[in-house]
Amino acid sequence: MKAFLLLLALLPATAVAADATKNPQFTAGQKALQAALDRPQPKRKARNIILFIGDGMGINSVTAGRIFAGQARGLDGASYKLSFETLPYGGFSKTYSADKLVTDSANGISAIMTGVKTINAAIGVDDSVKSKDCQSALGARIDTLAEQAKRSGRAAGVVTTAGITDATPAGAYGHVPFRNWRADVDLPADAAKAGCVDLARQLVEAPDDVRMDVAFGGDLQDFVPTGTGPGKRADGRDLTKTWVSRPGARYVTDAAGLSALDTKGGPVLGIFADGDLPSPVDTELHRNVPTLSDMTAKAIDILAAKKSGYFLLVESASIDKWHHANNAYRALTDVDELSKAVRIAMDRTDPNDTLIIVTADHSHGLVISAGSSREEPITGLVRNHGVNLTDGNNQPRLTLSYATGPGGPKAGAVVPIPDEATATSPDFHQPALVYMASAQHAGEDVPVYSRGPDSDLLTGTFESSYIYQVMAHAFSLTGPKVAKPVAKHRRRHVHGR
């Protein structure tokens, strides 16, 4: 006995296993497992669908965004959860277009809204379309899911922090071979002659059976004529007046107007900025401009009041806009803004009748490099408890950097190395490997988060165009209305055979 005790005393401490079952990470994992086991099978038919697009929000933006959002609240960023990370189902969407390895936002949303990938820069048309070719677009038009929802008697709306005529929101109502045909002055003369119409007119002049009940965003210049504020239209049309000329239709221009809107009543156009809506970081610019959450809440309340079921597209465009500028601080702020807007949708809807999907149209070339201890700001230098770690040249380095963009080295120039205060300031532009005036999108698959009817069908890895199929199934839609016989020219196969 004595010898045994002696042996015990001599055993190294590591031989006594830690009791993992008492570790808070372990018990949290057990709780998560039980919640998954107890989760009821989703229903099959949806009354409502809310589709959130974090423009440019790859999985890298989600990870960096959650760390940023957690740290902004004085919490541990790494273990923080964005609202949509609590949704029960997840999958991966392959985002390439009919002609490019890496998609733009036009094809990105078009594939999701029509079930067919098209060429980059085209919206609401199939892959037979030729870029900037009006004639080819007229024969390639496909009803969007929002239009099909309207034809089935439901309500529909679109919300964005970009212009309402920007590519992603146009995915709800627009049909163009080129995304920049936003106002009449953007169309070449031959396109206008051939019968193509700019996106602002498509939104405002849509027939009643497909017209959006709610459209919130920016880019007033596309809707009003030259000489009226920022107006750029040369055809003399004031489309805000065209909008309100129909019975009950309403038009609002600021946060107060939005807030005062009665949820009952006719279709609402809300244009809150010349250009994109400003970042909430810029409080002065943002005065009396609604947040994405404000717009989402009002859109849901208006659409839900229709009692018919609804489809709503909500885009956080600013994630992409700020990534293009390599401004990680504002891009990640907008991931947090998206998270808040999704939370509002989660709180205002019932998982038994509303399908919520949160995804991206494509990613951006943001990289999260190792080295920093958990408490260090995600936008700052790589530091271990306040001590800078260096690169191979013995210089400080950053946790976040980009593959391409304005933060890259111009010919002959060296990218300056910031101090910590500069790196963590809202106006800092992260360094990029390759200099470009605007960062390029990235092509890896993007995450898809969902809850509600049919959300279990959004698991695994699938084409971006498959998301349309799930939404159409949840709504029991019979498919797009075929306006004319399919164009005769040969159709390319988009997907592998």
**DSSP symbols for 435-458:** E-SSPPEE-S-EEEEEESTTGGGS
* Crossing angle of the two packed helices 292-304 and 328-348, in degrees rounded to 10: 20
Subset of residues 227 to 286 that bind Zn ion, contact rule: CB under 5 A: none
Is 204 or 439 the residue whose CB approaches Zn ion more closely?
Answer: 439
Is 120 or 379 the residue whose CB approaches Zn ion more closely?
Answer: 120
Among candidates 341, 325, 290, 346, which has minimal Cα distance to 404?
A: 325
Minimum distance from CB of 213 to Zn ion (Å)?
27
Is 314 or 439 the residue whose CB approaches Zn ion more closely?
Answer: 439
Is 173 or 322 the residue whose CB approaches Zn ion more closely?
Answer: 322
Minimum distance from CB of 112 to Zn ion (Å)?
15
Contact 89, 351 (CB under 8 A): no
**DSSP symbols for 367-403:** EE-S---TTS-TTSB-EETTEEPB-TTS-B-BSEEEE
Q: Which of 93, 105, 279, 372 is catalytic?
A: 105
If you ran DSSP here, which 8-state letter would residue 308 be given? S
Report the length, in residues, of the chain: 497
Contact 326, 439 (CB under 8 A): yes
**Rounded Cα distance, 108 and 120, in Å:** 8
Contact 80, 69 (CB under 8 A): yes
Subset of residues 413 to 442 that bind Zn ion, contact rule: CB under 5 A: none
Is 105 or 144 the residue whose CB approaches Zn ion more closely?
Answer: 105
Is 320 or 337 the residue whose CB approaches Zn ion more closely?
Answer: 320
Quick one: which segment of 159-167, 312-320, 343-351, 419-427 binds Zn ion (CB under 5 A)? Answer: 312-320
**Rounded Cα distance, 294 and 287, in Å:** 13
Quick one: which segment of 247-255, 317-325, 382-390, 488-496 binds Zn ion (CB under 5 A)? Answer: 317-325
**Nearest residue (beta carbon) to Zn ion:** 320
**Rounded Cα distance, 125 and 139, in Å:** 8
Minimum distance from CB of 54 to Zn ion (Å)?
12
The site string for Zn ion over 166-205 (x = CB under 5 A, - otherwise) reads ----------------------------------------
Alpha-carbon separation of residue 186 from 124, 180, 419 (angstroms): 18, 7, 44
Is 276 or 320 the residue whose CB approaches Zn ion more closely?
Answer: 320
Quick one: which segment of 25-33, 318-326, 327-335, 467-475 binds Zn ion (CB under 5 A)? Answer: 318-326
Quick one: which segment of 2-10, 19-27, 294-302, 313-321 binds Zn ion (CB under 5 A)? Answer: 313-321
In sequence order, which residues have a C-beta less than 8 Å from that of residue 231 and are 6 or more positions away? 220, 221, 223, 224, 225, 238
Subset of residues 449 to 488 that bind Zn ion, contact rule: CB under 5 A: none
Q: Which long-range contacts (CB under 8 A, 24 or more apart) does 239-244 make?
A: 239/200, 239/201, 239/203, 239/204, 240/269, 240/271, 242/204, 242/205, 243/204, 243/267, 243/269, 244/269
Quick one: which segment of 159-167, 256-264, 320-328, 485-493 binds Zn ion (CB under 5 A)? Answer: 320-328
Minimum distance from CB of 105 to Zn ion (Å)?
5
Minimum distance from CB of 316 to Zn ion (Å)?
12
Among candidates 434, 435, 478, 470, which has minimal Cα distance to 453?
A: 470
Quick one: which segment of 13-21, 127-135, 314-322, 378-386 binds Zn ion (CB under 5 A)? Answer: 314-322
Greatest C-alpha distance within the chain: 102
Is 175 or 321 the residue whose CB approaches Zn ion more closely?
Answer: 321
The site string for Zn ion over 144-163 (x = CB under 5 A, - otherwise) reads --------------------
Contact call for residue 320 and Zn ion (CB under 5 A): yes
Paired strand residues for 270: 216, 252
438 has catalytic annotation: no
- Total of chain residues touching Zn ion, rule CB under 5 A: 1
Minimum distance from CB of 249 to Zn ion (Å)?
31
The site string for Zn ion over 59-98 (x = CB under 5 A, - otherwise) reads ----------------------------------------
CA 237 vs. chain centroid, Å, equals 31
Minimum distance from CB of 474 to Zn ion (Å)?
28
**Rounded Cα distance, 149 and 472, in Å:** 9
Minimum distance from CB of 408 to Zn ion (Å)?
17
Point out the residues that are catalytic: 105
- In the complex, the residues that contact Zn ion under the rule CB under 5 A are 320
